Amino acid sequence: DAEITQSPRHKITETGRQVTLACHQTWNHNNMFWYRQDLGHGLRLIHYSYGVQDTNKGEVSDGYSVSRSNTEDLPLTLESAASSQTSVYFCASSATGVDEQYFGPGTRLTVT
């Protein structure tokens, strides 16, 4: 069965370190998304991609970057982790612009 996976599921890192969160989907979807989820803020879009070599900023992109070198993967990099980036991160993918998104299980990141 097709799926979307994230790794690691839990990560503790120190302020200032570079961190990369992995997202891999086997749906062969063109669209991929990264969200963060915090209490009181719901889901907020960080970055998204509509295909290989395409990346776009979402509403909370400062301090984050993504790259899309193939259809299956969209890694999220925190260039210099800050305590404000402690959150749960979700990756998602969709086939087209009006289709539902399929979500990964999430990565809980703690920045100390």
| Closest CB to another protein among residues 78, 89 | 89
| Closest CB to another protein among residues 19, 34 | 34
- Quote the least distance from Cβ 95 to another protein, whole Å: 8
What is the binding site for another protein (CB under 8 A)? 31, 33, 42-43, 45, 48, 50, 58, 90, 92, 94, 96-106
Question: What does the alpha-carbon distance between residue 9 and residue 77 come to, in Å, rounded to a whole number?
Answer: 15
Contact 104, 63 (CB under 8 A): no
CB atoms within 10 A of CB 81: 21
Which tokens belong to 13?
């890192």
- Quote the least distance from Cβ 104 to another protein, whole Å: 6
| Closest CB to another protein among residues 19, 48 | 48
